[in-house]
Amino acid sequence: MSASVFVINAGSSSLKYQLVAVDSGEALASGLIERIGETTGRAMHQVPGRDDVVEQRVITDHAHAFGWVLRQFDAHGPDLDEAQLIGIGHRVVQGGARFDRAVLIDDDVAQQIDDLAPLAPLHNPANLQGIRSARATFPGFPHVAVFDTAFHLTIPPAAHRYAIDERVAADHRIRKYGFHGTSHQFVSRRMAELLGKPLEQVNTILLHLGNGASATAVRGGESIETSMGMTPLAGLVMGTRSGDIDPGVIFHLHRTAGMSIDEIDTLLNKRSGLLGLTGTGDMRDVQQAADAGIPRAVEALEIVAHRLRGTVGAYLAHLGRTDAIAFTAGIGENSPAVRTAALSGLEGLGIVIDPERNAGRGERCISAAGSAIEVWVVPTDEELEIARQVAALVG
Ligand code: ADP
């Protein structure tokens, strides 16, 4: 068996993990612990080819959760020694302007992740909690932080700076950071392989469309523009997030509608996007409603597509020359209708989808033979990307 990496994604009340075989990319085991710290939690451990282990039980904190996970590996496998575990990879949401790549975690790095908490108050403290508990649970192993923002640190100042008072921006570290970097990096590399060209020669527009959604323009393997901003609220229309709106809306809601900042935060992050437009944040349900002719669902899809099309158009301009557009994540990989809608009307720019290829499944080219810019579906694998980055660092 080849080396494996234990990949961890810790949220404030959840813990997701996967044991990844680095060479094959196979998930040897995975699991999810939810409702940590609540009155009843739920824990699941999955090993391919075996029955899932699912337990409803109280899980007091992340340390407790890791204890449960280790017991599952002991009882149900796979054996971590046999799997040749070489390191632990931690997904960290915000790496600020400091971390442009994955790093080995020591006390100093942990402190810096903590210092970045004001920029990602919901995520970095939770990621750090996971790191602390995991370092205690797996003391003999190297732990590596892989940042969602790192891939985007190549975005030039003209694209990452906001046009606000420079002192205020500097004092509060306000700039575009971008997110989903691990996924965009994975897909951009894969896209170069699929086109059979060196990464340095390939320009791509990547559309990661899941519950969270972001677009990235990649020139020669480097991110040069992305749609999320200082926070993951900016850009495309998402499951529950608004994406771009006029910031003046916030002042208006505060002054005129009397909403507090926290209420507006909740509105834009949790009650907007597909959910706000249609009453459901799940694209499958929205499509079903649109197929049934429900006007607000039809219109929601038009809003989603309009934003996507505008973003693709802008990125074509930023790149100058584009080899391919790639769709990934839950919606990007599985929704022919969203892909078609997003790129409809761009035929004059050399982007033509083939309906039959678009209707298929799996990793494939979906553009028509004469399309100047190829269009692809490329399934993302963030865990594998994290595992590879860990292996590259410690292997
Ligand atoms: P996350 O950002 O939480 O990782 P995913 O990448 O899993 O999210 O994407 C979830 C989204 O993908 C949901 O809106 C879901 O409805 C959508 N999705 C999954 N399968 C399909 C499908 N067959 N058709 C349309 N949308 C789909």
Q: State the closest ligand 1 atom to the C-alpha of 380, by its place in the atom list counted from 1.
A: 6
Quote helix, strand, coil % in the chain, to nearest 5.
40, 20, 35
Residue nearest ligand 1's atom 19 by CA: 330
Domains assigned to the chain: 4-147 (3.30.420.40), 198-382 (3.30.420.40)
Rounded to the nearest whole angstrom, what is the distance from the C-alpha of residue 115 to the centroid of ligand 1?
33
Give the Cα separation of 322 and 317 in Å (integer). Answer: 9
Give the Cα separation of 161 and 276 in Å (integer). Answer: 29
Q: 312-326 pLDDT, tens per residue?
A: 999 999 999 999 999
Q: What is the mean pLDDT of residues 358-379?
A: 97
Residue nearest ligand 1's atom 12 by CA: 330
Q: 75-100 pLDDT, tens per residue?
A: 999 999 999 999 999 999 999 999 99
Cα torsion 379, 383, 385, 388: sign = negative
Ligand 1 site-directed mutation target among 334, 338, 378, most atoms within 8 Å of CB: 334
Query: Whose structure tokens read 């028509």?
Result: 368
Predicted TM-score (pTM) of the model is 0.96
- Just list the catalytic residues: 148
Q: What is the mean pLDDT of residues 364-377?
A: 97
Ligand 1 site-directed mutation target among 209, 211, 287, most atoms within 8 Å of CB: 211
Around Cβ 341, how many Cβ atoms within 10 Å? 17
End-to-end Cα spacing for the chain: 15
Residue nearest ligand 1's atom 23 by CA: 334
Rounded to the nearest whole angstrom, what is the distance from the C-alpha of residue 330 to the centroid of ligand 1?
3
Confidence band of 395 (pLDDT split at 50, 70, 90)? confident
Q: For residue 318, which of 227, 383, 380, 187 has the smallest C-alpha distance? A: 227
Given a cut of 80, whether residue 1 has pLDDT beyond it is: no
Rounded to the nearest whole angstrom, what is the distance from the C-alpha of residue 82 to the centroid of ligand 1?
34
Q: What is the mean pLDDT of residues 60-89?
A: 95
Task: Tell me the two tokens of residue 217.
Answer: 């323009």
Give the Cα separation of 226 and 2 in Å (integer). Answer: 35
What lines the ligand 1 site, CB under 6 Å?
210-212, 239, 282-284, 287, 329-331, 334-335
Q: Per-residue b/e over 145-172, b at no fewer than 16 CB within 10 Å?
A: bbbbbbbbbbbeeebbeeeeeeeeeeee
Q: 305-315 pLDDT, tens per residue?
A: 999 999 999 99
Q: 219-275 pLDDT, tens per residue?
A: 999 999 999 999 999 999 999 999 999 999 999 999 999 999 999 999 999 999 999
Rounded to the nearest whole angstrom, what is the distance from the C-alpha of residue 170 to the centroid of ligand 1?
37
Query: Whose structure tokens read 């080849």?
Result: 2
